[in-house]
Amino acid sequence: MTPPRRQPVRRRTAVLPREAVLAAVPVALAALIGAAGPAAAGTTGTAGAGDPYFPLSGNGGYHVRHYGLTLRYDTASRRLDGTAVLTARATQRLTRFDLDLSGLKVTGVTVDRAAAAFRRDGQELVVTPRRALRAGRQFRVTVAYHGTPKPVTDPDGSPDGWIPTDDGAFVAGEPQGAMTWFPANSHPKDKSSYDFTITVPEGRTAVAGGVLLGQHTAHGRTTFRWRETRPMAAYLATATVGKFRVERYTTPDGVQVYNAVDPREASAAAPVLKKLPSVLAWESKLFGPYPFPAAGAVVDHAPGVGYALETQTRPLYDSAPGLGTLVHESAHQWFGDSVSLTAWKDIWLNEGFATYAEWLYAEQHGGDSAQKSFDALYARPAGDPLWAYPPGDPGSGANIFGTPVYARGAMALHELRRAVGDRDFFRILRAWATGHRGGHGTTAQFVRLAEQTSGKRLQPLLHTWLYGKGKPNRP
């Protein structure tokens, strides 16, 4: 990636003529210094969202309000045909902007119905609209594409994205796999609503997030229409395809549940999936109201994936989950999905919280106390990988799903609980989920909330547990 260029200060409130004058400045400057760049500094959206762990994930210069994805997947040939319609808003003047897209062939791009120039540059789809978009303007991008999607390999070695299975595809996207199946502004900073229209061979089911609007079969193909109205990060989108047994019901709280289960996993999954409503009810008591109108699970048979993902409203499991995993992915609906990260570095806000939810579940359902879970981990010697790096600063994208993030992240919460007591601790968790619902939260904001809610100074303790090198000492 080229280092970000210095951008001229630009006032968004500038009146039009003045803005036009300002816009001319970078062009002149570029000409003066002989910059060979294809567009003037300050009017091109950046190729990344500014996240050092995944520098090319996401893009600068615009926000996507809505994705309309129309997909057709042929499970035999593994060919995907897609049209993506993005409704976006420019956050700066844009002569050019990027989308994230890995592999696949793009056959056409339009911006506000006019054909736009585009080129591919690694995982970037670079779009040059016919006319510059002024700051604040809403615009619509259409991308037509097709090909055989290929998953990417994350820095931790895991496959990520559109992962073919023997009967369809396991479609996950954390942290960077969304770009393997649709053009996206793929960073959790940017959250959007989604419509999915997915056509698959008759007999297969395509499952996305949100509610099922309808399905119909014609000429040997079935089309599924899904709608997620709540803001969702691209990595939490799925369009998982397979031969599934489907179960639908509505919980007493009015949440629409849709479960899709690979028959090979059905008997192992059944007793755990039966607990989903009670797990969500239990978590709602602890964390505040369930943030979405829909819920469920996709239990696939995807050996080789090696993880589950908290896809929004409907977590995705690579095989029948244990109860702990169900509790974990469900807790992510509050922590990670509803309240999202602004940087991957803060991943402990997702994984530490979801892990602590598992500890709490055990504690309140006849298992080990959270204290016991903590003690077992704390007993590990200073050289144990658990203490290899601090959860609040994992150091790189290769470490974001490591034990220090999950386990020591949960330990940090446990230490917070011990410091403030149960009453305030659960008030903090609820205030976090409720106050940032549908939005974002940072570690600094969490620490501040904990201090404000409890009236205690907690920065030193949390700093030790989140940022301290090596095994923290306990007082």
Sign, Cα dihedral of 279, 254, 230, 158: positive
Q: Which residues pair with 200 in a beta bridge?
A: 222
Nearer to ligand ARG, 51 or 154 (CB): 154
Partner from ligand ARG, Zn ion, none binding residue 158, C-beta < 5-8 Å depending on class:
ligand ARG
Nearer to ligand ARG, 94 or 331 (CB): 331
- Check residue 378 for interaction with ligand ARG (CB under 6 A): no
Min separation Cβ 291 and ligand ARG, Å? 17
Scanning 64-72, 304-312, 375-383, 411-419 for contacts with ligand ARG by CB under 6 A, the matching segment is 304-312
Q: Pseudo-torsion of CA 126, 90, 187, 300, nearest 10°?
A: -80
Partner from Zn ion, ligand ARG, none binding residue 174, C-beta < 5-8 Å depending on class:
ligand ARG
φ and ψ at 361, to 5 degrees? -60, -45
* Residues 348-377 close enough to bind ligand ARG by CB under 6 A: 354
- Residue whose beta carbon is closest to Zn ion: 354
* Residues 233-272 close enough to bind ligand ARG by CB under 6 A: none
Rounded CA-CA distance 43/96 in Å is 7
Rounded CA-CA distance 48/179 in Å is 13
Rounded (5°) CA angle 294-300-302:
145
- Check residue 313 for interaction with ligand ARG (CB under 6 A): no
Sign, Cα dihedral of 269, 272, 274, 276: negative
Interacting residues with Zn ion (CB under 5 A): 351, 354
* Residues 385-404 close enough to bind ligand ARG by CB under 6 A: 401
Scanning 50-58, 155-163, 286-294, 389-397 for contacts with ligand ARG by CB under 6 A, the matching segment is 155-163
Nearer to ligand ARG, 160 or 262 (CB): 160
- Check residue 158 for interaction with ligand ARG (CB under 6 A): yes
Selected binder of ligand ARG within 10, 134, 307, 451 (CB under 6 A): 307
The 3-class SS string of 139-179 reads EEEEEEEEECCCCEECCCCCEECEEEECCEEEECCCCCHHH
Selected binder of ligand ARG within 51, 174, 228, 283 (CB under 6 A): 174
- Check residue 310 for interaction with ligand ARG (CB under 6 A): yes
Partner from ligand ARG, Zn ion, none binding residue 307, C-beta < 5-8 Å depending on class:
ligand ARG
Scanning 82-90, 118-126, 261-269, 327-335 for contacts with ligand ARG by CB under 6 A, the matching segment is 327-335
Min separation Cβ 173 and ligand ARG, Å? 9
- Residue whose beta carbon is closest to ligand ARG: 158
Nearer to ligand ARG, 158 or 205 (CB): 158
Nearer to Zn ion, 111 or 360 (CB): 360
Q: How many residues bind ligand ARG (CB under 6 A)?
A: 14
Nearer to ligand ARG, 96 or 328 (CB): 328
Burial 307-333 (b: 16+ CB within 10 A, else e): bbbbbbbbbbbbbbbebbbbbbbbbbb
Q: Quick one: tokens of 314?
A: 């409907």
Min separation Cβ 276 and ligand ARG, Å? 16
Nearer to ligand ARG, 324 or 367 (CB): 324
Rounded CA-CA distance 39/354 in Å is 44
Rounded CA-CA distance 205/43 in Å is 43
Min separation Cβ 122 and Zn ion, Å? 28
- Check residue 323 for interaction with ligand ARG (CB under 6 A): no
Scanning 8-16, 156-164, 408-416, 424-432 for contacts with ligand ARG by CB under 6 A, the matching segment is 156-164
- Check residue 57 for interaction with ligand ARG (CB under 6 A): no
Query: 231 preceded by cis ω (within 30°)?
Result: no
Rounded CA-CA distance 306/318 in Å is 7
Scanning 143-151, 211-219, 307-315, 360-368 for contacts with ligand ARG by CB under 6 A, the matching segment is 307-315
- Sheet containing strand 168-171, edge to edge, reads 162-165, 168-171, 240-242, 205-207
- Check residue 160 for interaction with ligand ARG (CB under 6 A): yes
Partner from Zn ion, ligand ARG, none binding residue 54, C-beta < 5-8 Å depending on class:
none
Rounded CA-CA distance 387/407 in Å is 10
Q: Classify residue 126 as exposed, middle or buried by CB count within 10 Å of its CB (0-12, 13-18, 19+).
A: buried
Give, in order, the Cα–Cα distances in Å from 450 to each of 148, 455, 458. Answer: 47, 8, 7
Nearer to ligand ARG, 64 or 152 (CB): 152
Partner from ligand ARG, Zn ion, none binding residue 156, C-beta < 5-8 Å depending on class:
ligand ARG
User: Which residues of this protein are in contact with ligand ARG, per CB under 6 A?
Assistant: 154, 156, 158, 160, 174, 307-310, 328-329, 332, 354, 401
